[in-house]
Amino acid sequence: MLKWIDVLKFANNGNPPADQRVEKTEAAWEAILTPEQFRVTRQHGTERAYSSEMCQLFEPGKYACVCCDTLLFDGEEKFDSGTGWPSFTQPLLPNTIAYHKDRGQGMYRIETVCNTCDAHLGHVFQDGPPPSGLRYCMNAVALKKVATKERRATFGGGCFWCTEALFQQLRGVMDVKSGYSGGAFANPTYREVASGLTGHAEVIEVTYLPEEITFEELLVIHLTTHNPTILRGQRADKGTQYRSLIFYRTPAEQQMAIAAIAEVQKSLDEMIVTEVVPFAQFYPAEAYHQNYYAADPEKAYCQNVIEPKLQQLRALYGPRPNH
């Protein structure tokens, strides 16, 4: 992982060589780029803040150089900086980006360029989130999103040992991680979250293929496999960290969540208290919390708490849920 000291070393002493080089004349670049892409990437321009929807795009996938298609960033490292420019906290590899001292516009900054084709991308600052502390402040027009089919959804529904085991049963779900979200600070520990005082909740991050299972199907399964009418936790697990949550990444997902709650509400006497909140960050839990049920289904908690929920899932959705 690169940190500010590494960035300074590269800017002062020279950058690591790129895996390959792409070089073209200015006229050749101009011929394949839009005028705005050309102005920013080849003439060190800066796009207007908030001019791109890419700032609010947090779907999984990679980001490539708009000029030469070299992959530069993973969407996992993207965060909402509130600056109006898409921001990342780490490049894909230590040698994908080159760093140069930039004394332009009365400031002393570190310019970032594509190490393959020298496209101007933006600047890097040392006020990013931990652990790297870096903020790559990028021009959206210098990047292009490389489509991936996988999508992510984040839910809270009580103890993550349970919700993780439930969603692992579903066809179309590629991966489920247990972790924390919704709290006041980054990278909380289980002990901190368990205090119930940090604002974090135990959540799961589900990676799924939308052709096989839709966000709407995930919502209904989520709402019908825990009790969404209890404010602070499920039967065996009490506390604000066990509250019922649906995180949305787009306005469309927010609407789908509200609609799903209204639909499930019809069959419940008690009021659903599930919070529908914008997704910000997911912090994976400690390794011993991952795959808790699958690692040893014979454990007492698995047998007494999780197994009945899996049976309920099968009763609701059949032996192969979602199929």
| Residue in 114, 140, 162, 310 binding Zn ion, rule: CB under 5 A | 114
As measured in angstroms, the least distance from the Cβ of 43 to Zn ion is 15
The one segment of 59-67, 120-128, 154-162, 228-236 that binds Zn ion by CB under 5 A? 59-67
- Residue 119 binds to Zn ion (criterion: CB under 5 A): yes
Partnered with residue 175 across adjacent β-strands are 207
CB of 66 to Zn ion, least distance (A): 8
The pair phi, psi for residue 101, each rounded to 5°, is -70, 135
Residue given tokens 């135990």 in the structure block: 202
Is there binding between residue 68 and Zn ion (CB under 5 A)? yes
Using CB under 5 A as the binding rule, whether residue 143 contacts Zn ion is answered as no
Residue among 115 and 169 whose Cβ is closer to Zn ion: 115
| Smallest separation, CB 299 to Zn ion (Å) | 50
* Pairing status of strand 87-88 against strand 78-79: antiparallel
Q: How near is the Cβ of 34 to Zn ion at its closest, in Å?
A: 15
Instruction: For residue 117, indicate whether it is catalytic.
Output: no
Q: Report how far residue 85's alpha carbon sits from residue 34's, in angstroms, rounded to the nearest whole number.
A: 19
Q: Check 67, 117, 137, 162 and give the catalytic one.
A: 137
User: Distance between CA atoms of 173 and 156, rounded to whole angstroms?
Assistant: 16
User: How near is the Cβ of 3 to Zn ion at its closest, in Å?
Assistant: 24
Q: What single letter denotes the amino acid at residue 302?
A: C
Among 52, 112, 116, 154, binds Zn ion (CB under 5 A): 116
- Residues in a beta bridge with 112: 99, 122
Listed in sequence order, the DSSP H helices in 226-320 are 251-265, 292-295, 300-301, 307-317
Q: Which stretch binds Zn ion (CB under 5 A): 64-72, 93-101, 134-142, 283-291?
A: 64-72
Tell me: does residue 219 bind Zn ion (CB under 5 A).
no
Nearer to Zn ion, 31 or 252 (CB): 31
Residue reference for tokens 């849920």: 321
Is position 64 an interface residue for Zn ion (rule: CB under 5 A)? Answer: no
In sequence order, which residues have a C-beta less than 8 Å from that of residue 47 and are 6 or more positions away? 36, 40, 85, 139, 140, 141
Active site residue ranges: 137, 159
